[in-house]
Structure 1
Amino acid sequence: MANMKLKKSLVAHWAFSEGSGSIVHDGSNQDAIHNVFNEHRSALPADEPQWRSGINGHALLFDGYSTWIERKEGICSIDQAFTIEAWLAPRSFGGIEDERLTGIVNQHNREMNEGFILGVHRHGKWALQVGVEGDWIEVWAENAPIPKAKWSHLAASFNGQEGQIALYLNGEKVAEKTIDKNVSMSVSHEALLIGKSNDAKMIENVFSLNMFSGLLDDIKIYNRALNEEEITKSFTDHLSPYQGEIPPLPYQDIAIDRSVYDLHRPKFHLTPPGHWMNEPHAPLYFKGQYHLFYQHNPQGPYWGNIQWGHWVSNDLVHWRDLPLAVETEADELAPDGIWSGNAAYDEEGLPVLFFTAGNLSKKPNQMTGLARSTYKENHDINLKKWKKHPVPVTIQPGNMGLHHDGFRDPFVWKEGEIWYQLVGTGIEGVSGAAILFTSDNLVDWECKGLLYDDKEQEFPFLGEVWELPILLPIGKGKHLFIISPVGRNADVEVFYWIGTWDRERYRFRPDQKEPQLIDVGDFHFTGPSAMVDPKTGRLLLFTIAQGRRSLKDEYEAGWAHNGGLPVQLWLRDDGRLGVKPIEELKKLRKEKLVSLENLSVEETNDILAHVKGYMLEIYVEFQGDIASEYGVKVLKSDCENVETLLYYNSHEQTLNIKKKTNDSSLAAAQGGELLLNGEQLRLHIYVDCSIVECYANELKSITTRVYPEIEALGIEVWANDSVTVKSMEVWEMGPAF
């Protein structure tokens, strides 16, 4: 009888038993699954939403930014009473953007106080909200958050006759509220949505926030309020195949699948499994493995909800994805963002992470935090688990006139028994700066003043805040100081000085005041992070290669940005900074496509005419004759309406890029100074789908982004007059992941 009563009151049931396709069934009803994969098939290799294993059978993976189910006519028979049940396993939580719920199941109009929404908010806090006769009633599970990456059973019941609303987590009542008796829900005529809110916040009319990220399975709606016994039984019945225990959820069942994204996504550069990233940071070496972290939004391909993504590698070029390393939590340390930082080692030589702790309830809202490896407890060389120190270790000094919104990106290192911490900041209304602290225990830090600044405002392009400061030895008694400026008048690039680190006075003294560029492209080589590799002694630099695509393009592609290639920096014999791709990149080489010597441009191009590729390494050395401009075209179409030209201008002594687009127009050139001082031009070029990096004579690089048509795969040597190709080699490249 009890089962019959349940069945009669069941008005909707999405079992997700399909396991494939873009339709889910509720009895005879068919509801469409909206998803970027089935609405923009021309851009993506996948053509349907992502299905995974469920609590029983199959479940649908909601990507957090584009996936939802819609029933346009909604459900209208639940105004007197209803119960909603769902199994879910969140991958991430949004909610940092505003107070609106992420929709699990909803059919509501908040402005009119109509309908209902069962949803989750930041850090797993969840609620049922109902419009009742002109009022908006909210019931929150304050002390029973939903865990991430685990299966949970939610139930929410509304009983208008008895005036009761209750919430249940895994069969137990966790919240309830008494309202007036004999009331009804104000019916909403909006569509019923699963995984998306009827009242979502939008980013420039492209990204809908308040969308669910993770797995949903076995959603039921009843037209009466189930009692606690019925809800508990429903929960336990699902667990009968698992001996009464909630089954564990394998990481791969909820992880972002990097194989589904579009053809322009780089393959041998550093990329997150999907969605948004900005700067890679905090490189470290431990127990034979390299670790690198990155700023990541697991919710979607837009900035926000930033956590620390994590890669691991044995050789710096082949990488594996690991779960998020450091995440925001409902605490007083960093509830609003785990922003950039770096890695160091503690008293026992175990890794520690320093990060920018974002807490928007405080002013200033940026501090630095500390997370320690749990290696001593679990001996996991992959360093998957980190434990945050409960309070900030450094806050912005209040007596130095520092920028109100500039105290971030700690860089920590040790000399002798002292740890030093460098933090990016600025002097309010004056210039950017880097501030220095010291400690003998990693937790208690003493301010030692500004390491370096531009108080004289000699270089306005250095902006008002310096991000991601780095200070490392580079040989011959010199140190390299690196920053990335932001704010008013800033040229957002990677600038550096070579000079002396004055430990006694806690100051950096540059050999020359004017900052220099490593890369002469335009905003495609930013976000620096560096380490002295304990294994080899090399100074290694990591960067982000910005994408500069529209939000619409990022929505359709499902990803934004990638890392630049790891590069080695050193002090050359002539006193200049050397820069080159790391030697380990040779491991990614596949077939050698070209090897030639001492040919003219015409003879070279006869050989190159049959060479195609969008994942290439090219090394070419020129013997200058008469030509004043010469270089290499890549990602070139046969009809020559699309191409990217990398070339040197010997008269102006500049390294440059020009791009020809599909409409045969020339995009604005990028470029900057390259002083060869009598050397012959050598170009080391990497082409990876939508990114092109070129390193010239181990002196400068130039980086750009290109999104050509699929058929634009050719390469060609180019010169405005006679020049000899002294040597040239071309390799096909393999993937990094």
Structure 2
Amino acid sequence: MSTASKFYSVLTSTLFCYLAVITFIGTAINGVEASHRIYPQFQSLSVDIVDQIHRTAYHFQPPKHWINDPNAPMYYNGVYHLFYQYNPKGAVWGNIVWAHSVSTDLINWIPLKPAIVPSEPFDIKGCWSGSATVLPNNIPIILYTGLDSNETQLQNYAVPANISDPHLENWIKPANNPLVAPDHTVNRTAFRDPTTAWLGSDGWWRMLVGSKNKRRGIAHLYKSKDFMNWVKAKHPIHSRPDTGMWECPDFFPVPKSGENGLDVGITGRDVRHVLKVSLDLTRYEYYTIGRYYPEIDRYIPYDTLVDGWAGLRPDYGNFYASKSFFDPKTNRRILWGWANESDSRQDDVDKGWAGIQTIPRKVWLDPSGKQLRLWPVEEVEKLRKDPVLMENTAVELGQHVEVTGVTAAQCDVEVSFTIPSLEKAEPFDPEWVNAQDLCAPMGAKKQGGVGPFGLLTLASEDLEEATPVFFRVFKADTKYVVLMCSDASSSSLKEGLYKPSFAGFVNVDIEAEKRISLRSLIDHSVVESFGAGGKTCITSRVYPTKAVDGEAHLFVFNNGTEAVHVEKLSAWSMNRPLRMNN
């Protein structure tokens, strides 16, 4: 009997023994904070009226209430599934269940009932994040973190109650849970978010679980022959000091060349691996690229990359708890990420909702091998309508050229800038290692040499409100340095908002190319921007008071003494999906 057949037999036997009707009940999570501040007075406030002013039109979100981490995205038998952390009773974190939606195109989503809720001793105090694995005989299985009555974090599994149901609406939690409990060497309150498992050529399944030891971030490795009995490897697959808790680890292969994705178990000479972690201490993510050595169960990042807080990020803005999956339909690796609100908790309660998922992004390795590229999935382009074109337009110092004919609060814009000369680029100080430290003092309103130039998104007509997304070019000793910013500091006249200036450096040879591109997906309270074809991505959450709906405007601007040219700008108003969890 083959390994796959043996495994199928064991799993089928287990399901037969434990098949049961699960009664879905809601259980409030009290006293367990993890990464979220707890507001008991708001957790279960019913929402009668949902404020629509800043709700997105084409981003993923439920009709009301709080959402956070995307969980277990997968493509199964012609259907995309997205599970996510959801509070069915209020607009702040609490009462968390695994909500579940399905789609055939990644744009239109049908809501189903929650797939996993706290109900058993191994998850009675919480059903937290996890991943999906599709097994060799085409059986999907969810691995997730549950909290028991002692608030110990356990790794559990759930399976479909009816594998022939095209939507996999009902899930059961077999009684042999948990699959993995922390031993005495593991921090039992920092042990969560299992990855998609992969089957090695040696017949062992492997998965990672995020953890920490004091300030050392850890990705523990677990192995199993039958997916039911797991043992901890002698050492983590990777760890790093001074990074804190590693939440939502993601470990996947990418081919050295091309834009296709790979299933999680692929290895070989022409394959590189990516380890992404979400940093509980900083509330952003970073990733490394390196080699995975299954014979010694080690992942070793390239020493030319920063492995720590200053490392590469999939997104330099409001983006967290991301989770990727391999899409066998299109041979893509697709990444989902959560964009939390930047207003106050009282604002969230008042408006009746909080949190969105960013547009899913295709992920591949840049030809340089030094970083990933991320780009919105092509399906989102089906929502485009009423195209607007601007070409061969010079933008001088202090100019703001409006892009008319587009719904500026709900649009998609792509622009390619050419730079005739770099002679006026400002000097770059080598001590400037953190791009975000530069964005605020050198914002869109501060005159420069080459830049700042870019887009003024969600702008009021008088420019009192705007979220500039822009580039600025500096001259270092041996090369030019390109800074990209998404600056929310002037996004709203409302007080009490978190309005950060997010930034990242863009790895381009601007001297040779003399051009750079920018794409922004603008959707009422979110601006997702992609610089240089997805080399640097920044997401901002904003809440304008004047630049709302039909009063929002879109401008191309330049505040550098060197003129720049709009080689080509294409913009589209965006339709709403026919179904968004309604």
Could you say which TM-score interval applies, normalised by the shorter chain?
A: 0.7 to 0.9
User: For residue 374 of structure 1, what is the aligned residue in structure 2?
Assistant: 161
Residue 591 of structure 1 deviates from its aligned partner by 2.1
Relative contact order higher in (CA < 8 Å, ≥ 6 apart): 2
User: For residue 705 of structure 1, what is the aligned residue in structure 2?
Assistant: 541
- Whether the aligned pair in 2 keeps the contact of 1:369 and 1:391 (CA below 8 Å) is no
Q: Indicate how the Cα distance of structure 1 residues 671 and 498 shifts in structure 2: closer, same or farther if over 3 A, else same.
A: same
User: For residue 692 of structure 1, what is the aligned residue in structure 2?
Assistant: 527
Deviates more, 1:466-475 or 1:651-660: 651-660
Q: Which has the larger radius of gyration?
A: 1
**SS at the partner of 2:82?**
strand
Give me the whole-angstrom Cα distance separating, in 1, the residues matched to 2:465 and 2:500. Answer: 14
**SS at the partner of 1:340?**
strand
User: For residue 572 of structure 2, what is the aligned residue in structure 1?
Assistant: 731
User: For residue 420 of structure 1, what is the aligned residue in structure 2?
Assistant: 206
Uncovered stretches (5+) of structure 1, i.e. residues with no partner: 1-89, 99-201, 214-255
- Two-structure CA RMSD over aligned residues (Å): 2.6
Give me the whole-angstrom Cα distance separating, in 1, the residues matched to 2:384 and 2:406. Answer: 16
Kindly provide the CA deviation profile for residues 190-209 of structure 1, in whole angstroms up to 9, marking residues without a partner as x.
xxxxxxxxxxxx97696274
- Whether the aligned pair in 2 keeps the contact of 1:369 and 1:389 (CA below 8 Å) is no
Question: Is 1:471 equivalent to 2:251 in the alignment?
Answer: yes
Q: Which protein is richer in strand relative to its size? A: 1
**Which of 499, 515, 525 lines up with 2:290 in the alignment?**
499
Give me the whole-angstrom Cα distance separating, in 1, the residues matched to 2:56 and 2:24. Answer: 24
Give me the whole-angstrom Cα distance separating, in 2, the residues matched to 1:686 and 1:352. Answer: 34
Residue 685 of structure 1 deviates from its aligned partner by 0.5
Give me the whole-angstrom Cα distance separating, in 2, the residues matched to 1:422 and 1:684. Answer: 34
Kindly provide the CA deviation profile for residues 155-207 of structure 1, in whole angstroms up to 9, marking residues without a partner as x.
xxxxxxxxxxxxxxxxxxxxxxxxxxxxxxxxxxxxxxxxxxxxxxx976962
Question: Is 1:313 equivalent to 2:103 in the alignment?
Answer: yes
Kindly provide the CA deviation profile for residues 351-403 of structure 1, in whole angstroms up to 9, marking residues without a partner as x.
111111111x236x110111111234xx2111101111224343344242x33
User: For residue 58 of structure 2, what is the aligned residue in structure 1?
Assistant: 268
1:317-716 equivalence runs, <5 A: 317-329=107-119, 331-359=120-148, 361-362=149-150, 365-376=152-163, 379-400=164-185, 402-415=186-199, 416=201, 417-427=203-213, 429-455=214-240, 457=241, 460=242, 462-463=243-244, 465-476=245-256, 477-486=271-280, 490-512=281-303, 514-515=306-307, 516-519=311-314, 521-522=316-317, 524-575=318-369, 576-592=371-387, 594-601=388-395, 608-609=403-404, 611-626=406-421, 627-651=450-474, 652-659=481-488, 660-663=490-493, 668-678=500-510, 679=513, 680-697=515-532, 698-709=534-545, 710=548, 712-716=551-555
Give me the whole-angstrom Cα distance separating, in 1, the residues matched to 2:341 and 2:499. Answer: 16
- Whether the aligned pair in 2 keeps the contact of 1:590 and 1:731 (CA below 8 Å) is yes
Q: Which one-letter code corresponds to 2:306 in the other structure? A: E
Give me the whole-angstrom Cα distance separating, in 2, the residues matched to 1:265 and 1:450. Answer: 45
**SS at the partner of 2:197?**
strand
User: For residue 151 of structure 1, what is the aligned residue in structure 2?
Assistant: none
Deviates more, 1:686-695 or 1:402-411: 402-411
Give me the whole-angstrom Cα distance separating, in 1, the residues matched to 2:217 and 2:282. Answer: 12
Uncovered stretches (5+) of structure 2, i.e. residues with no partner: 1-22, 32-36, 257-270, 422-449, 475-480
Identity %: 29
Give me the whole-angstrom Cα distance separating, in 1, the residues matched to 2:206 and 2:110. Answer: 31
**SS at the partner of 2:411?**
strand
Aligned length: 483
Q: Indicate how the Cα distance of structure 1 residues 454 and 434 shifts in structure 2: closer, same or farther if over 3 A, else same.
A: closer
**SS at the partner of 1:410?**
coil
- Whether the aligned pair in 2 keeps the contact of 1:653 and 1:674 (CA below 8 Å) is yes
Q: Indicate how the Cα distance of structure 1 residues 662 and 430 shifts in structure 2: closer, same or farther if over 3 A, else same.
A: closer
Q: Which one-letter code corresponds to 2:252 in the other structure? A: L
State the TM-score, normalizing by the size of structure 1: 0.62
Residue 733 of structure 1 deviates from its aligned partner by 0.9
- Whether the aligned pair in 1 keeps the contact of 2:402 and 2:555 (CA below 8 Å) is no
Kindly provide the CA deviation profile for residues 662-692 of structure 1, in whole angstroms up to 9, marking residues without a partner as x.
5499954221211212342100100011010
Give me the whole-angstrom Cα distance separating, in 1, the residues matched to 2:463 and 2:233. Answer: 58
Residue 712 of structure 1 deviates from its aligned partner by 4.5
Residue 620 of structure 1 deviates from its aligned partner by 0.3
Q: Which one-letter code corresponds to 1:282 in the other structure? A: A
